[in-house]
Amino acid sequence: MDNNTNPEAREWLKSNKNPSAFASNRFGSTGEALAFIEKLYELGAEKVLIDNIFDEESRIEKEGGPYADSILIKMPNDPVKRSSLYKVYNSEAVNEGFEEIEGEGSNSLTLWWD
């Protein structure tokens, strides 16, 4: 996870003029994606970063801004907060056809929607 190449999710979504800037097959609108990011912060994520950005000129011209389909979640040290974030992660992973993971010592999680 590199803060220089991965923008903070709330700021990226708020400044993006694409009405469906993030994982539109899951969230639909940018506003719904932003609400999900806010939920991650409320549960204790230290930082949520946008990953896998598609920012081709033709996309920006057609859709109004870049698009992305994955996030990096920087995990807190607090075990209760970590557990809450793992529950959200596993729920999303299962919905996408992936296996659940155990809440071990990972410092970050990546969520991706196809």
Residue 105, burial from CB neighbour count under 10 angstroms (0-12, 13-18, 19+): exposed
CA distance 4 to 40: 21
**All residues at 6 or more sequence positions from 8 whose CB lies less than 8 Å from its CB, including other chains:** 47, 48, 49, 50
Q: Which two tokens stand for residue 4?
A: 């220089």
- Give the pTM: 0.91
CA distance 105 to 51: 21
Q: What is the pLDDT of residues 57-85, one digit of tens each?
A: 999 999 999 999 999 999 999 999 999 99
**What is the rounded (10 degree) CA torsion for 58, 62, 64, 66?**
-40
Q: Roughly what angle, to the nearest 10 degrees, separates helices 30-42 and 79-95?
A: 150
Q: pLDDT by residue for the chain (114 residues), tens digit each?
A: 444 589 999 999 999 999 999 999 999 999 999 999 999 999 999 999 999 999 999 999 999 999 999 999 999 999 999 999 999 999 998 988 888 887 667 899 999 997
